[in-house]
């Protein structure tokens, strides 16, 4: 790196950090969640270290802040899960060290046996990501503590102090839920899908549309699909956040979360079909097959896409979807598809039957995917 570039890069880094802090302070979101989690981690680690230093031998005091950090995850559920797994791993490692030291003594060959046993136990599925801690604790208990019971007892007390500090501060200041923000993001994605679908529908009215415009639509579909994948991860985290969280209203979150997740899944499936339709349209425009489609088919398919856009917009709204309205929109869209199927005549231009059939298949599959999830998207209150 050139020296003269250093101030520029430093200013850029300071600007990014300032923007990050501004977003964290200004509105709820991942930035604020990270900032709060960092503050809780520092507090829990310091408190655990101070308590362990005053109550326990210095040799085991480090385990307290380490356990406190393990006990602080993004959600209360993950914190409890990881903490329980770590305590189990600690117990297994300490027990192996104590048993082997008492039976064989402290030797190179007995340490080798300990390594083998610790690695084997650490592979247990129930220990999850904390399985590696079996070997870590076993090494400390065997090498530093000589497998002595008093050392292991102090180690267990240090772990208990860290777990108590981490879980206590995490439960007292439990992370807030962000379901409403996720619902707004899903609504925004569905609104953008609907807008792009209407733009795609207009192509069937204009044979002189630039193929590059349609190609850009395909890029937009890919970007939206990537956004959906990331949002699925956020919804998985939100589902964990609703478990064991004292700030969550358990009676309302599961149904709302299920509907939001299902809406996002339907949006992704719609994107798959819309990408397929866009590829076909791009082929029509690039190879001048647009006029091979019957005029009635072009106008009818435009209506199908407009109706499909209205359906996606309806299911994407954050407020509960009106079942009667959604079913009415779906029925009207299905009727338009049925009308188009009647236009599949053998006397059309040679390329037309295949292309029209491809377009109709994608439209029919899009409707089928939405209808298949109707019981979650818009449950009938009478059933």
Residue closest to 169 by CA, chosen among 45, 255, 81: 45
**In the listed set 172, 196, 219, which residue is the last one of a domain according to the structure?**
172
The pLDDT of residue 335: 81
Same domain, 211 and 325: yes
pLDDT for 161: 93
Residue 110 CB-half CA count within 13 A: 17
Average pLDDT of the chain? 81
Confidence label for 349 from pLDDT (cuts 50, 70 and 90): very low
pLDDT at position 348 is 45
Whether 235 and 315 map to the same domain: the answer is yes
Q: What number of other Cβ atoms are within 10 A of residue 198's Cβ?
A: 16
Q: How many domains does the chain have?
A: 2
pLDDT at 307 over 80: yes
What value does the mean pLDDT take over residues 106-117? 89
In a domain, 383, yes or no: no
Give the pLDDT confidence score for residue 350 in this predicted structure.
47
- At 59, list the tokens: 């040799």
**Range of the structural domain that residue 83 is part of:** 3-172
95 domain residue, yes or no: yes
Question: What does the DSSP assignment read for 230-284?
Answer: HHHHHHHHHHHHTSS-TTS-TTTHHHHHHHHHHHHHHHHHHHHHHHHHHHHHHHH
Contacts of 199 by beta carbon, 8 Å cutoff, 6+ apart: 217
Residue 52 pLDDT: 93
CB proximity list for 253: less than 8 A, separation 6 or greater: 177, 179, 242
Same domain, 158 and 211: no
Q: Are residues 20 and 43 in the same domain?
A: yes
Q: What percent of the chain has pLDDT over 90?
A: 15
| Residue that finishes a domain, picked among 172, 202, 225 | 172
Q: 308 with 207, same domain?
A: yes
Alpha-carbon gap, residue 15 to 21, rounded angstroms? 10
Q: Would 183 be classed as within a structural domain?
A: yes
Q: What is the pLDDT of residue 47?
A: 95
The answer on 232 and 162 residing in a single domain is no
Most confident option among 79-93, 284-298, 360-374: 79-93
One domain, residues 138 and 271 = no
pLDDT of res. 1: 47
Asked whether residue 57 falls in the same domain as residue 78, the answer is yes
Q: What are phi and psi of 347, to 5 degrees?
A: -80, 5
pLDDT of residue 21: 61
Residue 206, domain CATH: 1.20.58.220
Strands (E), the chain: none
Q: Is the pLDDT of residue 6 over 70?
A: no
* pLDDT for 14: 62
Q: Please tell me whether residues 150 and 239 are part of one structural domain.
A: no
Q: What is the pLDDT at residue 289?
A: 62
Over residues 193-211, the mean pLDDT reads: 81
155, 207: one domain:
no
Question: Which band of pLDDT confidence, cut at 50, 70 and 90, is reported for residue 158?
Answer: very high
pTM of the model: 0.73
Greater confidence (197 vs 19) lies with: 197
Q: Give the pLDDT confidence score for residue 242 in this predicted structure.
A: 79
Say which residue, 292 or 357, is predicted with more confidence. Answer: 357
In a domain, 382, yes or no: no
pLDDT confidence of residue 331 = 84
Residue-wise pLDDT tens digits, 208-258:
667 778 788 888 889 999 988 988 888 888 888 878 777 765 555 667 788
**138 within some domain:** yes
In a domain, 363, yes or no: yes
**C-alpha angle 47/30/22, rounded to 5°?**
90
90-128 residues labelled b (16+ CB within 10 A) or e (exposed): bebbbbbbbebbeeeeeeeebbeebeebbeebbeeeebe
pLDDT above 60 (res 86): yes
- Cα 31 to Cα 300: distance, rounded to the nearest angstrom: 47
Q: How confident is the model at residue 76 (pLDDT cuts 50, 70, 90)?
A: confident
In this predicted model, what pLDDT tens digit does every residue of 20-58 receive, in sequence order? Answer: 565 656 666 667 778 888 889 999 999 999 999 999 988
State whether 146 and 128 are in the same domain: yes
Q: Does 275 reside within a domain?
A: yes
pLDDT given at position 20 = 52
Say whether pLDDT at 95 is over 70: yes
What is the DSSP secondary-structure string of 293-320?
Answer: S-HHHHHHHHHHHHHHHHHHHHHHSSSP
Q: How confident is the model at residue 163 (pLDDT cuts 50, 70, 90)?
A: very high
> Is 245 domain-assigned?
yes
d(CA 107, CA 147): 12
The pLDDT of residue 378: 63
- Region 169-181 average pLDDT: 81
Average pLDDT over residues 58-80: 89
Low-confidence winner among 53-67, 166-180, 342-356 (lowest mean pLDDT): 342-356
With beta carbons less than 8 A apart as the criterion, state whether 307 and 329 touch.
yes
pLDDT for 263 beyond 60: yes
Is residue 240 within 8 Å of 340, Cβ to Cβ?
Answer: no
Single out the residue in 172, 192, 216 at which a domain terminates. Answer: 172
Residues 274, 149: one domain? no
CA 160 to chain CA centroid, nearest Å: 32
Of 84-98, 109-123, 205-219, 340-354, the poorest mean pLDDT is in 340-354
């Amino acid at each position: 790196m050139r020296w003269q570039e250093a101030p520029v890069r430093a200013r850029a880094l300071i600007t990014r950090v300032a923007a990050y802090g501004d977003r964290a302070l200004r509105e709820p979101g991942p930035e604020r969640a990270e900032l709060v989690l960092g503050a809780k981690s520092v507090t829990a680690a310091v408190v655990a270290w101070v308590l362990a230093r005053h109550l326990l031998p210095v040799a085991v005091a480090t385990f307290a802040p380490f356990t406190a950090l393990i006990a602080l995850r993004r959600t209360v559920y993950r914190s409890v899960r990881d903490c329980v797994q770590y305590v189990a791993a600690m117990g297994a490692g300490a027990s192996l060290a104590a048993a082997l030291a008492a039976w064989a003594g402290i030797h190179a060959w007995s340490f080798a046996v300990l390594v083998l046993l610790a690695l084997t136990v650490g592979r247990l599925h129930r220990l999850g990501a904390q399985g590696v801690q079996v070997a870590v604790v076993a090494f400390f208990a065997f090498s530093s503590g000589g497998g002595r019971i008093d050392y292991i007892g102090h180690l267990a007390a240090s772990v208990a102090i860290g777990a108590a500090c981490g879980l206590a501060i995490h439960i007292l200041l439990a992370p807030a839920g962000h379901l409403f923000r996720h619902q707004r993001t899903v609504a925004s994605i569905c609104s953008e899908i609907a807008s792009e679908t209407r733009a795609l529908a207009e192509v069937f009215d204009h044979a002189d549309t630039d193929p590059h415009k349609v190609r850009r639509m395909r890029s937009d579909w890919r970007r939206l699909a990537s956004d959906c994948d990331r949002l699925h991860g956020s919804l998985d985290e939100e589902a964990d956040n609703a478990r064991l969280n004292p700030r969550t209203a358990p009676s309302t979150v599961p149904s709302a979360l299920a509907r939001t997740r299902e809406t996002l899944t339907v949006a992704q499936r719609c994107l798959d079909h819309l990408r397929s339709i866009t590829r076909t349209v791009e082929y029509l425009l690039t190879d001048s097959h647009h006029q091979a489609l019957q005029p009635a088919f072009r106008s009818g398919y435009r209506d199908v896409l407009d109706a499909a856009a209205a359906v996606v917009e309806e299911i994407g709204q954050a407020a509960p979807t009106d079942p009667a309205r959604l079913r009415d929109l779906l029925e009207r869209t299905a009727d338009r598809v049925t009308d188009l199927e009647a236009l599949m005549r053998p006397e059309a231009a040679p390329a037309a039957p295949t292309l029209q059939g491809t377009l109709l298949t994608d439209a029919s599959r899009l409707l089928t995917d939405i209808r298949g999830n109707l019981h979650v998207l818009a449950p009938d209150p009478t059933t």
